[in-house]
Amino acid sequence: MSSEAAPPVGRAITAVDVIRAKRDGQVLTPAQIDWVIDAYTRGAVADEQMSALAMAIYLNGMNRAEIARWTRAMVESGVHLELGGVDRPTVDKHSTGGVGDKITLPLAPLVATCGAAVPQLSGRGLGHTGGTLDKLESIPGWRAHLSVEEISRQLRDVGAVVCAATEGLAPADRKLYALRDVTSTVESVPLIASSIMSKKIAEGADALVLDVKAGSGAFMKTVNEARRLAEALVGIGDEHELKVTALLTDMSVPLGHAVGNAVEVAEAVQVLRGDGPADVVELTVALAREMLALAGLPDVDPGEVLGSGAAYETWCRMIRAQGGDPEAPLPRARHVHVVEAERDGVLTTLDAYAVGVAAWRLGAGRTRKEEAVQHAAGVLCLAKPGERVAAGQPLLELHTDTPDAVPAALAALARQMEIADEAPARTPLVMDVLRGKVR
C-alpha cells in the first residue's frame, strides 16, 4: 500500500475521496475512516457508495492501524453496554460459526458456575450455520430480547446471559453487515474482524475468547485463512486494550451428534449434566479454561465442574430468568428419515458443510433473515469419522416437520459420507492458540 491519502487542502472529506483512496491502494486516514462510518450510519453516504468502498477494501485490504480505527468508529456509532454493577470479572466468547456448534449453551453457565460473568450477545442462523438464539427459542417461553437493565440484573443474579444484541449497539456494523451480504464482500478479513470486534468491544466485557474455525463447515475453509482472521481479531483487541485469546479449531466434521435447534439444546443439556459427546465436552472445557484464565481465575478446573453437573443448575436459573422452562419437553419432529451405511468398514468422512446444508434444507435454518425456522428440524449423526460401522447400520437421522424436504437434504449429503477399510488420521480439535499482548 502507498502512503496515507488526504483530501486537497481546504476541502471537506467526501465519499468519493475515500473510495478513490482505497481503490488506489492507499491507507485511509483516521479522519477519513471516522467520517465515512459516521456519515454512512446517518444516511449521508449512500449504500452504493459504501458498496464501492467495501469492494475496494475487499480487493486492497487494510493495515492493522486502519482495521483498529475502523473498528473504533463502528463502536462509537452507537451505545456502550455498561456492566459496571456486576461484581465478577466479565468475559465473553465468540465463535466464527460452524455445524453443530452448540458450545455457547453449556459454556456460558459453566464459566458462570466457575466464578466469572458471561454477557453473551448472540445472533440467528443464516444458511448452513445455526444461530444460538434459534436454538434457545426451542425452549418453551424463553425470550431473546432483554433490556440493558435486565441484562445487568441477570449477570448479577445468575452470572450468565445469552440474548440478542441491544438495538443501539454498533448500528454502523448492522448496516454494513447487511450490505456486505448482498455485495459479495463478506469474505474480507478486515471487514469480518471489525464486525466481530466492534460488537464485542461495545458490549463492555473485560476479556474475550474467540473460537476461530477452519474446515468445510466453517466460514474460513483453510487453517491459513482462519489464522489470518484470528491474528486480525487479536490485533484489534491489543489496539483497544482488551484481553483476547483465539483458538483455532477444526470444523471439517460436525461438532457432537446433533445439528439443528432443539436437538442441539438436548445435547447441550447432556453435557451440562456431566455426559454428552467427547468433542463437545473437550471444546467447552478448552474455551472455559481460557476464559477463566483471562478473568483471573486460572486455578478453577472447568472440567471438574462440568463433570460434576453443577453447571446444569446455573443453566436452569439462566433459562428461567429469561422466561423459559428448562424442564419442559422440547419440540420433536413429525417425520424422521434414517440414512444407513451401505457397507461394512470405518466411517472416514462426514462432511460438516453437507450436514449443515441438509439440516438447513430440513427446516433448521433460513435463507432470509425474516424467515422462521423449524425448532424440531435437524440431523442426528449416529456415527462419526473413525468409528467402525456395519452395512445397514443407521448413520444419520433426518428430522423435519416437512417430509417433502427430505430429498433435497439427501441430495446435499450425496457422496459426502465415505466408508473405507482403515480409520483416517485424526485432526486435533484445537489446532492452535493465539494470545494477545494484553493480559
CATH of the domain at 19: 1.20.970.10
Whether residue 83 is predicted with pLDDT greater than 80 in this model: the reply is no
Whether residue 108 is predicted with pLDDT greater than 60 in this model: the reply is yes
pLDDT tens per residue, range 111-122? 999 999 999 988
Looking at the domain assignment, is residue 183 inside a domain? yes
Task: List residues with catalytic annotation.
Answer: 94, 173, 180, 195, 199
- CB-based contacts of 232: which residues, under 8 Å, 6+ apart? 64, 67, 189, 190, 192, 193
H helix or E strand, kind and range, residue 357: helix 352-359
Across the chain, mean pLDDT equals: 93
Looking at the domain assignment, is residue 70 inside a domain? no
Residue type, 12: A
The answer on 274 and 174 residing in a single domain is yes
The answer on 408 and 370 residing in a single domain is yes
The answer on 180 and 257 residing in a single domain is yes
What pLDDT score does 8 carry? 54
Give how many domains the chain has, as a whole number: 3
Containing structural domain, residue 20: 2-61
Contact 272, 309 (CB under 8 A): yes
The answer on 15 and 49 residing in a single domain is yes
- CB-based contacts of 213: which residues, under 8 Å, 6+ apart? 95, 96, 97, 98, 101, 219, 220, 226, 248, 249, 250, 251
Looking at the domain assignment, is residue 301 inside a domain? yes
CATH number assigned to the domain comprising residue 362: 3.90.1170.30
DSSP string, 27-49: EPPHHHHHHHHHHHHHT-S-HHH
Rounded average pLDDT over 309-335:
97
pLDDT tens per residue, range 357-401? 999 999 998 776 667 889 999 999 999 999 999 999 999 999 999
Going from the C-alpha of 167 to that of each of 94, 170, 254, 318, the distances in angstroms are 19, 8, 32, 22
Last residue of a domain, one of 61, 78, 106: 61
CATH number assigned to the domain comprising residue 117: 3.40.1030.10
Residue type, 240: H
The answer on 207 and 264 residing in a single domain is yes
Whether residue 7 is predicted with pLDDT greater than 70 in this model: the reply is no
- CB-based contacts of 289: which residues, under 8 Å, 6+ apart? 302, 303
Give residue for cell 474467540. 210
* C-alpha cell recorded at residue 311: 453447571
Rounded average pLDDT over 294-322:
97
